[in-house]
């Protein structure tokens, strides 16, 4: 064995986004592209000699190749141990769990989350720090800075390591440990939720369907739901992780998880339905003929925290991303705790959790989690809902309706315009910002503008400032329109428009959300000129 230093030239497009670096597979397959990024990452870290690195991913195309490259580069850059999940299958929440449990130096997660997979689709890589959470901006910016000047990388000249068999492989002082990527996560869930109560729930005849979308959570859901809790075989569908997700778009929403939605709104639908995304950190919750908006899901979980044994002592606080509806604020107010508003990106919750400021966090983009790890967690959210159902013995629709009657309903929706021209998208946002001064006090339909700005956040723990996080149009009655360009796609730009209005009157809480928000939808389109600037007459996805 020997260490090679391979000459290379920089790439100009390796700036990590909110969830690492995501590009088409063909981009990563370029000679030295992955190696350069990994070397830039390792060069941004200090004190790695002899330390442990956790490694795994969602099983999408190119994961197996990337894993072998990273093992060889970790050896060459001084790590003492790489813990790689068997077959490379490791959900993002499980990676966070393992990093924290074994006090690893950090971890590399290979995933493009909810983006499509396959040879012609997307691949991604991100680094999580020793607290189990996504790398903060100071690290991602350091990676980018080094990627622009990199002229070589280090890699060990060794054979590929068999990651299909549990056990250790020794290469000099370096160890590759192939571990079960599921067991540690399952054991953590048992400390948070009463599995005996959930077994009784399924034994009582309770029915559900979990659609893993041929992504990473299939093995986790089968182990927990079918093996541990006794749900009937077949409760988990599309449960085998596939490199191309079986042609499915692994994004658990009303558009891309349509098969599950149709099933839950069909004849003889089960009591409960759920889905998760490519890497397992997102979730969608459904009842029999009932869809739970992710913002409502966060609020309901917080309001019913006592149903889960791991949270029965109370919540330290709640946090939500800025675009997420204010439904969680109503719960926080009732509980007498603080609700923090952060930029989009789970890393912003990490400081709050590490400082014991919050227990449960959530984003409107189908992500919910708690301080048990430092990532959002799709399977955790499903188990929390099962605990609520077991405790309250009501249907999903009854639980949500009761919540609205107690706290009021935050009518809420997100409209996504995907794959639009980046220049047009940036022009739209710049035009909106040019109107800020004139919008203050302006009348838009029946609404009066209170604040028009671009959201900025000062971290209450470390004082760091994050700017340009989304254009906000806030009205005097509490209604909101938010415009934001997403950083999770790989083709063009995605414009997300968030719409919200609060309805305390129980007699007016049972409208269809799109109907209730129709006036705000029109105002949002007219104000930004969405149709004229993007050429899109309607959103790609509505949630």
CA-CA-CA-CA torsion for 418, 419, 421, 425, nearest 10 degrees? 30
Between CA 370 and CA 86 the distance in angstroms is: 26
Whether residue 113 lies in the annotated active site:
yes
SS3 4: strand
Residues 6+ apart with CB under 8 A from 442: 448, 449
Q: Computed over its alpha carbons, how large is the radius of gyration of the chain?
A: 23
Burial of 535 (0-12, 13-18, 19+ CB in 10 A): exposed
Q: Which of 113, 307, 365, 413 is catalytic?
A: 113
Question: Tokens representing 495?
Answer: 């414009």
Looking up tokens 């080094």 gives: 146
Looking up tokens 């949500």 gives: 400
Residues 6+ apart with CB under 8 A from 437: none
Between CA 369 and CA 494 the distance in angstroms is: 25
Between CA 54 and CA 285 the distance in angstroms is: 30
Between CA 143 and CA 138 the distance in angstroms is: 9
Between CA 250 and CA 107 the distance in angstroms is: 23
Q: Is 304 in contact with 311 (CB distance < 8 Å)?
A: no
Residues 6+ apart with CB under 8 A from 283: 252, 274, 275, 276, 277, 294, 297, 366, 367, 368, 378, 379, 381, 382
Residues 6+ apart with CB under 8 A from 197: 387, 390, 391
Long-range Cβ contacts of 182-185 (<8 Å, 24+ apart): 182/94, 182/219, 182/220, 182/223, 184/94, 184/97, 184/98, 184/101, 185/91, 185/93, 185/94, 185/97, 185/98, 185/220, 185/379
Could you give the residue numbers annotated as active site? 113
């Amino acid at each position: 064995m020997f260490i090679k230093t391979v000459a290379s030239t920089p790439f100009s497009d390796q700036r990590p986004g909110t969830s690492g670096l995501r590009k088409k597979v063909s981009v990563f397959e370029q000679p030295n592209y992955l190696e350069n990024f990994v070397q830039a990452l390792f060069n941004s870290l200090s004190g790695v000699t002899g330390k442990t690195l956790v490694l795994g991913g969602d099983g999408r195309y190119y994961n197996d190749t990337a894993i072998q490259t990273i093992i060889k580069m970790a050896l060459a850059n001084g790590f003492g141990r790489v813990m790689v999940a068997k077959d490379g299958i490791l959900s993002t929440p499980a990676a966070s769990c393992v990093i924290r449990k074994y006090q690893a130096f950090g971890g590399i997660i290979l995933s493009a989350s909810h983006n499509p997979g396959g040879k012609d689709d997307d691949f991604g890589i991100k680094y999580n720090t020793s607290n189990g959470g996504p790398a903060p901006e100071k690290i991602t910016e350091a990676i980018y800075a080094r990627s622009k000047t990199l002229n070589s990388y280090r890699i060990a000249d060794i054979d590929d390591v068999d990651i299909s068999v549990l056990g250790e492989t020794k290469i000099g002082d370096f160890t590759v440990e192939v571990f079960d990527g599921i067991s540690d996560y399952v054991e953590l869930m048992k400390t948070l939720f009463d599995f005996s109560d959930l077994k009784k729930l399924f034994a009582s005849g309770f029915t559900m369907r979990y659609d893993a979308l041929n992504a990473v959570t299939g093995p986790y859901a089968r182990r927990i739901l079918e093996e541990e809790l006794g749900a009937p075989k077949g409760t988990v569908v599309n449960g085998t992780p596939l490199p191309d997700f079986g042609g499915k778009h692994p994004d658990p929403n009303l558009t891309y998880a349509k098969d599950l939605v149709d099933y839950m709104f069909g004849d003889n639908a089960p009591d409960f339905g759920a889905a998760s995304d490519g890497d397992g950190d997102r979730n969608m919750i459904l009842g029999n003929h009932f869809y739970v908006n992710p913002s409502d899901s966060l609020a309901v979980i917080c309001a019913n925290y006592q149903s889960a044994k791991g949270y029965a002592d109370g919540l330290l606080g709640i946090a939500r991303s800025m675009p997420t509806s204010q439904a969680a604020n109503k719960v926080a107010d009732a509980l007498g705790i603080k609700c923090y508003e952060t930029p989009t990106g789970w890393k912003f919750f990490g400081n709050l959790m590490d400082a014991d400021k919050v227990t449960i966090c959530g984003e409107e983009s189908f992500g919910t989690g708690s301080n048990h790890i430092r990532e959002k967690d799709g399977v955790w959210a499903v188990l929390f809902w099962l605990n609520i159902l077991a405790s309250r013995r009501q249907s999903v629709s009854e639980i949500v309706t009761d919540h609205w009657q107690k706290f009021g309903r935050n009518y809420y929706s997100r409209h996504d315009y995907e794959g639009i021209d980046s220049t047009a998208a940036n022009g739209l946002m710049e035009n909106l910002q040019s109107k800020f001064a004139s919008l203050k006090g302006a009348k838009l339909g029946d609404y009066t503008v209170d604040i028009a700005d671009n959201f900025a956040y000062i971290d209450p723990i470390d004082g760091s400032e994050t700017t340009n996080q989304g254009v906000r149009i806030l009205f005097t009655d509490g209604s909101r329109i938010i415009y934001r360009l997403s950083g999770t796609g790989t083709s063009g730009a995605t414009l997300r428009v968030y719409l919200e209005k609060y309805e305390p009157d129980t007699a007016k809480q049972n409208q269809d959300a799109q109907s209730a928000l129709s006036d705000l939808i029109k105002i949002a389109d007219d104000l930004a000129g969405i149709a004229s600037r993007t050429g899109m007459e309607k959103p790609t996805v509505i949630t």
